[in-house]
Structure 1
Amino acid sequence: MRMTFRWFGPGDPVPLRYIRQVPGVEGIVSALQDLPPGEPWTREGMERHADLITAAGLRWDVVESIPVHEDVKLGRPDRNRWIDAWCRSVEQVGAMGIPVVCYNFMPIFDWTRTELALPLPDGSTALAYDDDALRRIDLSRGTGDLPGWAAAYDAQALGALLTAYQQIDEERLWENLAYFLERVVPVAESAGVRLAIHPDDPPWPIFGLPRIITDGAALERLVGLVDSPANGVTFCTGSLGADPANDLPAMVRRIGPRIHFAHCRNVLVTGERRFHEAPHPSRFGSVDMRAVLRALRDTGFDGPMRPDHGRMIWGEQGRPGYGLYDRALGAVYLQGLWEGLEG
């Protein structure tokens, strides 16, 4: 297992020199944040980004992520040009020697929360989700009322996408994902890159949009769409753990060799389709982290792992969920847990 840490580039409030000081963290999970979905990555842009990471004494271990254009998810006639551009980016990733690309296939919205700073009893704040609160959000003005999405879509663009997705049910989305993978997996395989799809977060439909990477059956279906070691999964304990019906250790044991990247965070489920993020150790949340890591170890996982979202603690300001302190505590906890399982 290799411990890594998410970094959002030169504008990240958490500098690389601080990440370098987190015990055991040697790898960085990052992306070219300034490029719009669909634009192919260039070698020059990647080298500039990688040079910053290398200069800090770290290495770029995972690309998270190369966004998939909505036209691909919708199966529109021009999807092939967006898929070709995505493949060119993967080839550049391989040429740079970065072994893993994390991506997702969530329609319109990436990870979604209804509260970015829920006060917790210990004085920290955390990301939170409440399905009832989500239903009260008005999208008629675009994404401005959705926490974390203030600049994503204006009313016209979002309305057009929501209308287009009315024609896409779960099976149609699966078909479009299969079409995508049939074309990109051979390219990734040739480039020496392992693709790792991120589960939907939260793992259920939102705003009437289908979501398909939600449980163990979906992960097994995913790896079966294109039977190649290059077609794999980012196992996110927080995303999948938000649904109490998901047996995370069992899921790991069924698809273990196809797990190429692990996101480890805890969530506390507080009601039906309601949760908030919690400290990483098992006793604070609904995810049995020890059991998950035991399953990863038992199935031979040797890839990158990162502490995923953390609380904002000790008065830290910055990007919600991505402060330094709680994620650093999480990185050390996860390494200690892994050492204990190996002992």
Structure 2
Amino acid sequence: MKMVFRWFGEGNDHVPLSYIKQIPGTTGIVWGLHDIEVGEKWPLDKILKVKNKAEQNGLNIDVVESVNVHEDIKLGRPTRDHYIENYKETLKELSKVGVKVICYNFMPVFDWIRSDLFKKLEDGSTALFYEKSKIENMDPTELVNDFLKNDEFTLPGWEPDRLGKLSELFDAYQGINEEDLWDNLKYFLEKILPIAEECDIKMAIHPDDPPWSVFGLPRIITNRQSIRKLLNLVDNPYNGISFCSGSLGANESNDLPAMVKEFGDRIYFAHIRNIKRYKNGDFIETSHRTSDGSIDIYEIVQAYHEIDYKWYVRPDHGRHIWEEESRPGYGLYDRALGIMYLWGIWDSLERIKGDV
């Protein structure tokens, strides 16, 4: 596996690239142009600036997260073709700097949902938390207002300009069900994948987070059956998955190691993180260590090892520890600890196999 680390860009991330380079076994950054409005073409000069900065620190830029999909594409509006053309042009520009994988999602309105960005754990650290009853009884406008108070760091998938039109977006989705969303995803993929193949860039969809309907919005990438449907929707090897153990693991019925083994040849990017689930439907993000949560991280890494996984992996959200001030879920310290835990499992499996 190839270990990478998410980075939000110079001036938008408190973690210097030189620190990322010091995390053992970490060879690249997972990046994006977060100052470009969703739906607009990414300019080559800004792409090259990230590439040059990364290479100065000995890191690659093979994985982009995310070239976000405009809501008009998800809604199937007549204007979607304009945004799809921009997406194609962005793919072509990214191919010029050697990008190999684009992580994207097809979640309506919100890329991910939590009720608390800094919920305290028993050890005194804080983490992202999902309180089911609170979300079910909350006006989404209240949630947006709470999240956007955190103006020191941008939140991926929570762009203020887009969320400023929240009521308009919810009105637009009133007539959209899951099958409509599937149809719109198919339309998008049929247009995009020939260009992705031409550019040799794998498209890797991220599962819905959490993997169920929230605020009445449709969700479609949620379990084993839906991933099978996705891969058959447009049967092309460039139609792949960003397999997120934390997102899919929020539903205890998802057998994550089995899914890794079934879909491994189409998993081009892996997010590995742990969560602790509660019987009432709540969950909180924990350290990566298996015993700290409800997800068997050892078995997941073992499944990747068994299929001889050679694509990209990153530690996903971490706790906020040692008084670090960071973007919610994206501190340096706990994610670096997560990387060492993942490498520890991988190296032990290599030793057992006899390769070390």
Does TM, scored on the shorter chain, surpass 0.5?
Answer: yes
TM-score, normalization by structure 2: 0.93
SS at match of 1:196: strand
Q: Do the aligned residues in 1 keep the contact of 2:318 with 2:331 (CA within 8 Å)?
A: yes
Percent identity of equivalent pairs: 48
Farther off after superposition, 130-139 or 86-95? 130-139
The alignment's C-alpha RMSD in Å is 1.5
Give SS of 1:228's match: coil
Q: Within 5 Å, which residues of 2 pair with 1:261-280?
A: 261-280=269-288
Q: Summarize the Cα distance change of 1:97–1:124 in structure 2 as closer, same or farther, 3 Å threshold.
A: same
Match in the other structure for 2:319: 311
Residues 1:177 and 2:176 aligned together = no
Equivalence for 1:214? 222
2:227 aligned partner, one-letter code: L
1:142 Cα deviation after fit: 8.2
The offset of 1:54, in angstroms, is 1.1
Shift in Å, 1:140:
4.7
Is the partner of 1:271 in helix, strand or coil? coil
Match of 1:239 in 2: 247
Following the alignment from structure 2 to structure 1, what is the Cα–Cα distance between the partners of residues 43 and 314?
26
2:86 matched to 1:77? no
Q: Does 2:155 correspond to 1:136? A: no
Q: Write out per-residue CA displacement over residues 252-296 of structure 1, whole angstroms, 9 at most, x where no aligned residue.
A: 121110000000000000134310001101111111111111212
Cα deviation for residue 151 of structure 1 reads: 2.8
State how far apart, in whole Å, the 2-side matches of 1:41 and 1:67 are.
Answer: 11
Structure 1: any 5+ residue segments left out of the alignment? none
Find the counterpart in structure 1 of residue 333 from structure 2: 325
Cα distance in 2 for residues equivalent to 1:152 and 1:277:
28
- Give the counterpart letter for 1:234 in structure 2: S
Determine if contact 2:41/2:89 at 8 Å carries over to the other structure.
Answer: yes
- How many angstroms apart in 1 are the aligned matches of 2:246 and 2:101? 20
What CA deviation, in whole Å up to 9, does each residue of 1:10-62 have, x standing for no partner? 12011111111111111100001100110011221100111111112211120
Distance 2:53 2:312 in 1: 20
Aligned to 2:110: 109
Contact 1:19 / 1:25 at 8 angstroms: preserved in 2? yes
Cα distance in 2 for residues equivalent to 1:146 and 1:271? 26
1-structure distance, mates of 2:4, 2:140: 36
AA aligned to 1:143 is V
Structure 1 residues 19 and 192: CA distance shift in structure 2, 3 A: same
Counterpart residue number, 1:151: 160
Q: State the Cα distance separating 1:146 from its structure 2 match.
A: 4.5
Whether the 8 Å contact between 2:140 and 2:215 is mirrored in structure 1 is no
Partner of 2:304: 296
Which residue identity is paired with 1:222?
A: L
Number of aligned residue pairs: give it. Answer: 342
Q: How many Å separate the matches in 1 of 2:98 and 2:7?
A: 18
The answer on whether the counterparts of 1:143 and 1:152 sit within 8 Å (CA) in structure 2 is no
Contact 1:4 1:61 in 2 (8 A): no
CA contact (8 A) 1:142 1:153 kept: no
Q: Distance in 2 between matches of 1:268 and 1:62?
A: 28
Q: Runs ≥4 in structure 1, deviation > 6 angstroms?
A: none
1:203, distance to aligned residue in structure 2 (A):
0.6
Change (3 A) 1:123 1:150: farther
Q: 1:270 to 1:142 in 2, by over 3 A?
A: closer
